[in-house]
Homo-oligomer: A and B are copies of this chain.
C-alpha cells in the first residue's frame, strides 16, 4: 500500500543525518566489528538470527548518539565509548526481537522478521542472549554510573512495553498515558545513549543532565514521527507496511486525537476496528480520512517539533562545535524524516 495521508508539504528534510554520520565515521568500523563479534556464539542459531537483524540496514542511531556525545564532551582517553555504544545497540536489538514476537510482526526494515524465519521461541531466547551480552560489555567497561544508567533503562523500557500491551485496543487511552508509554519504551534508551557520552568523558551532572534531556526529547520526537509515518509514509521507504499499527490495534497519538475529536459515529468506527479488531476492506483509508479531517497527523508532528525544540534548548549549555551542530541537525532529521 502506498501513501495514505501526505504530509510532505509540511516538512523539509534538510541535511539529514549526514553531518552526524561523517563525525563518527572513524569509530563506526570498530563499532560494527564489536557488534558482530559480540553477536557471535558457538550455538549456530544465535549469530544467524542476531545478524539477520543487526545487518538489516538499521541506522544505528542510538549507538551513534553515544559516540557523538562522547566526542562532543572531548572524550579522548580511551575506547570505552565503543562497547557502551554497542551495549546500547544490543539492548535496542533485543527489544526489537521481543517486540516483533509481542506484535506478531511479519516485516521489519524491509525484511521478513526473525520470528517468521526462525520462530517466536528463538526470537525470545536470542533477545535474552543479546541482553546478556550487552550486560557483559558494560561490566567489562566497568564504569558504575554507566551500568546504573543502562540498568535503569532496561527496567523502564520493559515497563513501557507492558504499559503499551495493557493499553492495546483501549480507546480510552489519554494523550498523557500515551506519552508515558513512549517516554518509557523509546525515549528512555535515547536518553541513556546520550548521557553515556557525558559519563564516559567524566563530565559533571550539568552536562549529563543536558545530554539526558536532549536524548529524551529527541526520543519522544522520534517516536511521535514514527507513529505518524505509520499512516503517512510509503511502505517502500518504511520497510514495513503502512497501517501496521492500525491492524495491530495499537493506540498511538494520531488515534488518540482522532478518537477524542470524533463524532459518536466515528468513535463507533474506531471501536469496531481497533478495540474489536474487526477490520474490513477500505477501513484503513477511512481511518486516514478521519485523521485528515481532525488534523491528527499534523498535530502529532507539531508535538514532535515541540519536543525537538526542548532537545535543542537542552544543548544550549555546550559551546559551538561540529558535534553540537550535527546533534542539532539530528533533531531536524528526526522531525522531518520520511522513513
Contact = CB atoms under 8 A, between A and B. Distances in A.
A209 B156 CA distance: 35
Count copies of this chain in the complex.
Answer: 2
Interface of A: 41, 43-46, 98, 101-102, 120-122, 124-126, 128-129, 131-133, 135-136, 138-139, 142, 144, 147-148, 150-152, 154-159, 161-163, 165-166
Contacts of A163: 43
B162 A126 contact: yes
Q: Is the interface of A mostly helix, strand, loop or mixed?
A: helix
Name the 9 nearest CB pairs between A and B, nearest first. Answer: A132-B155, A132-B154, A129-B158, A128-B158, A102-B121, A135-B151, A136-B151, A139-B151, A125-B161
A123 B180 CA distance: 21
Given A139-B148, A151-B132, A166 B102 contact: no
B124 A166 contact: no
B124 A102 contact: yes
Contacts of A155: 129, 132-133, 135-136
B132 A158 contact: yes
A124 B135 CA distance: 18
Given A125-B102, A128-B161, A166 B44 contact: yes
24 contacts: A41-B162, A43-B159, A43-B163, A45-B166, A46-B159, A46-B162, A98-B124, A98-B125, A101-B120, A101-B124, A102-B121, A102-B125, A120-B120, A122-B162, A124-B124, A126-B162, A128-B158, A131-B131, A132-B158, A135-B135, A135-B150, A135-B151, A139-B144, A142-B144
A147 B158 contact: no
Nearest to A46: B162
Given A41-B159, A139-B144, A159-B129, A122 B154 contact: no
A128 B158 CA distance: 6
A232 to B, nearest CB: 27
A118 to B, nearest CB: 9
A247 to B, nearest CB: 16
Contact of A165 (B125, B151, B165): B125
A152 B124 contact: no
A138 to B, nearest CB: 8
A105 to B, nearest CB: 12
